[in-house]
Structures are given as structure tokens and as C-alpha cells.
Amino acid sequence: MRKYVITNSSEASGFDFDQLVDIDEQYSRKSLDGSLILARYEGEQPSFLSGKTEHTHSEILTILATDEWTSDEPL
């Protein structure tokens, strides 16, 4: 089952992307202001995310629908 963690974007340099769904930081979802990044993984929480809050798919959809992550502005 896929799990999700939100953390500061500055921590992405410490990610082992071999343990994540996204292949590198460029492909990871970030908040609109770029300060937060979404880490997606399957199975056990990677050690570099230890202590971070895990979210389920339904929880992360609710979070990503907020103004911090989604803009109403037309592209």
C-alpha cells in the first residue's frame, strides 16, 4: 500500500530516491511556494523519513486539495 509523507523541501537532498516512487526531486510534488515536498513510497517507511507523519491516499488527497498545494488560478 502506498504511503505519503510531507516534509520540508530542503530535506529532499537527503532522500534516497531508490526507496521512493518518484525517481528524483524534479518529479516530486511540491507545495505552491516550494517549501514542502511530498514523498511517496510503498511498504515500510524509509529511515530518512523516520519520525515523519505518514498519510493514507485519502488523507493526502484532502491535504493536496488545500490552497497550499492547489491553485485556482488558470494556467
Mean pLDDT, rounded, for 27-55:
97
The predicted structure's pLDDT at residue 72: 82
For residue 60, the SS3 value is helix
Phi, psi torsion values for 10, nearest 5 degrees = -65, -20
Query: Which amino acid is present at 3?
Result: K
Residues 38-51: pLDDT tens digits? 999 999 999 999 99
Entry pTM: 0.90
* Contacts with 67 (C-beta within 8 Å, 6 or more apart), sequence order: 32
For residue 8, the SS3 value is strand
